Structure 1
Amino acid sequence: MLLIFLLFIFKNNIIIIVSIAKNITRPIFPFTAIVGQEEMKLALILNVIDPKIGGVMIMGDRGTGKSTTIRAIADLLPKIEVVEDDICNSHISDSELMTDAVKQKLCQGKNINTVFTKVPMIDLPLGATEDRVCGTIDIEKALTEGIKTFEPGLLAKANRGILYVDEVNLLDDHLVDILLDSAASGWNTVEREGISIRHPSRFVLVGSGNPEEGELRPQLLDRFGMHAEIRTVREPSLRVKIVEQRNKFDSNPQSCLTEFKDQQNKLKSNIINAQRILPKTTIDYDLRVKISEVCGELDVDGLRGDIVTNRAAKAYAAYNSRENVEVEDIKKVIILCLRHRLRKDPLETVDSGSKVKQVVESIFY
């Protein structure tokens, strides 16, 4: 939020008006203050720990806190080190997260300045065009001056962050395809009139929607790593608690942030610790076989279900400060990873998880 202050200075009977612009950070509702919706919160945490899980699709009723929760997880994350004035928030040492321009400077031994910034949280509006999403190349400048001038899109700005698409089930299918391709490969390529530019675009893709407005096609839904299903809270005491929590934040945001500061810091340190442990986390061969047995029994097409379940189970084990995956870790995440992969007919609805749970209980006895 940008506030403009006008300062009136009287000098020699002349009024001089000086404007002072000041950035005021808008407070974000704390993640740990959100009541219920455990599926959604767990899916977001696991994707933050390991973005290679492939993002999360959140489907639920209106007014259930989907947008609030997604913005809260982004605000919770620790600041990241990025190359100063870089369009893609390039990493200073990981080649998979830096632009070709930064790589070239490093090869030439040039000094590169870095700054610490908040994890990018990018909202993709439903009316966005392909150029707005992917970026554009100035063809005229390229042809007349021989200079590749790239105007970055949302995929560049979302690198190393979170890209959120509300009502993703209403977004054009070809844009969903672009988002999923970039999220899976970690790169975005823009080609115009024989001129090609590519840049890193590794982000956590989060989509949300209301099932009453329609589901995504099975082929697109399958490419989301996890699927969280949320429902309106029915228990009166919980509803009252949610309303009170929201009213408390709206009336005095700083007091609410202070109240949950310790819980926020604890969760933040758990996530950082899990990211550190994750590369060392292993899953036994027998457990991997049983995961694939579940996928085969459920007639899950392709191998994405197997891969995502393995990654999510390791992320959950790391989140609990363990380097070895246990059966309970798999049971905790497998429904989130497989329930949306069972739908064969576009007219069918996504299973609530009962089929997955039944097969899991029979195999992981």
Structure 2
Amino acid sequence: MTQPFPFTAIVGQDEMKQALVLTAIDPGIGGVLIFGDRGTGKSTAVRALAALLPSIEAVDGCPYNCATLPGTCPHCAQHPGKSLKSRPAPVIDLPLGATEDRVTGALDIERALTQGEKAFEPGLLARANRGYLYIDEANLLEDHIVDLLLDVAQSGVNVVEREGLSIRHDARFVLVGSGNPEEGELRPQLLDRFGLSVDVGSPSDIGQRVEVIKRRDAYETDKAAFMKRWRAQDTKLRKAILAARATLADIKTPDDVLEDCARLCVALGSDGLRGELTLLRTARALAAFQGDTALNRTHIARIAPAALSHRLRRDPLDDAGSALRVERAVAELFG
């Protein structure tokens, strides 16, 4: 099995890496949308982070990655007596041409024809449970598929009611979408459902570009030596993520920080309350990652562009990008 490129060896793209790490600490943030040029390390970063995280314990042979014995899925009900087995955190790619049946699961036609049984064939959502679901060119995906994915990602449960089947199974995953804005945009109501959004671009600094070439070449030329070189840094980051997960629930949230979240969202004209809630969860994950015990204004200011920039209405009188508008509002409100 090919080892993914080490996460800590990725050059630059700090906002993207921070967003992915924070969703690894708290998957409830709601996933990450990454917009930018091709070849900027989007898919590399997703696979690298999943490989960085500890393996999951799942029922042996279970296509739903059930975490307990006995499992709660349809497969475990039909195959009792299995044991838990370690497996890598799944990273599932969702192709653009995938049908709804392929995504959610459908009737197992082969068993229906050969055995006369009405059985369920799990889809991509089942395989992505407790891992990552990655959509390249998410802005080109059909709207009804995107709606379905976002609903399941938020509820954590996939419900299938068709062809006489009634199936419900866990589908808790971090949804990561990427795309090139020049090829089309997601609808605003869908953008709002992603927890974080970051823009990535090709580095303009010559030294940084040269370092990217060197590291990629070293990875492809002598993979074993390159992986060994970055193992310590990846291990350090893994421990920091696990430590942040353990302390996440203990982070204190003063009322004045909640007021800051609300004031910032009102100033930016963010619709609804999803912006404040995402801002709070992401800031809490950042505080835990940094080893802090309580939220403060610095945490809010640092993650505000990623949490709010994709929730803003377009202002025809303001040529500044969304992230710059958020940064400007942060500076005006917080100083």
Q: Give the TM-score normalised by structure 2.
A: 0.93
Task: Give the CA deviation at 1:343.
Answer: 3.0
**Pairing of 1:153-302 with structure 2 (within 5 A):** 153-302=123-272
Residue of 259, 270, 294 corresponding to 1:324? 294
Partner amino acid for 1:252? Answer: D
Task: Give the CA deviation at 1:363.
Answer: 2.0
Task: Give the CA deviation at 1:362.
Answer: 2.1
Counterpart Cα distance in 1 of 2:200 and 2:185 = 15
Partner amino acid for 2:53? Answer: L
CA contact (8 A) 1:343 1:350 kept: no
Classify the secondary structure of the residue corresponding to 2:64.
coil
Cα RMSD of the aligned pairs, angstroms, is 2.5
**Pairing of 1:1-150 with structure 2 (within 5 A):** 25-92=1-68, 99-101=72-74, 112-138=82-108, 148-150=118-120
Classify the secondary structure of the residue corresponding to 1:353.
helix
Deviations 1:173-217 (A, max 9, x none): 111111101100000111114431111000000000011111111
What is the match of residue 121 of structure 2? Answer: 151
Which of the pair has more CA radius of gyration? 1
**Could you say if the C-alpha distance between residues 243 and 139 of structure 1 is closer, same or farther in structure 2, counting changes exceeding 3 Å?**
closer
Task: Give the CA deviation at 1:364.
Answer: 2.0
Identical-residue share of aligned pairs (%): 48
Counterpart Cα distance in 2 of 1:71 and 1:139 = 32
CA contact (8 A) 1:32 1:263 kept: yes
CA contact (8 A) 2:66 2:73 kept: no
Residue of 292, 312, 322 corresponding to 1:342? 312
Unaligned runs of 5+ in 2: none
Do residues 360 (structure 1) and 333 (structure 2) align? no
Classify the secondary structure of the residue corresponding to 2:85.
strand
Equivalent residue pairs, number: 333
Deviations 1:315-342 (A, max 9, x none): 0011112231122111111110000000
**Could you say if the C-alpha distance between residues 138 and 349 of structure 1 is closer, same or farther in structure 2, counting changes exceeding 3 Å?**
farther
**Could you say if the C-alpha distance between residues 350 and 133 of structure 1 is closer, same or farther in structure 2, counting changes exceeding 3 Å?**
farther
Counterpart Cα distance in 2 of 1:291 and 1:143 = 57
Unaligned runs of 5+ in 1: 1-24
Task: Give the CA deviation at 1:140.
Answer: 10
Q: Give the TM-score normalised by structure 1.
A: 0.85
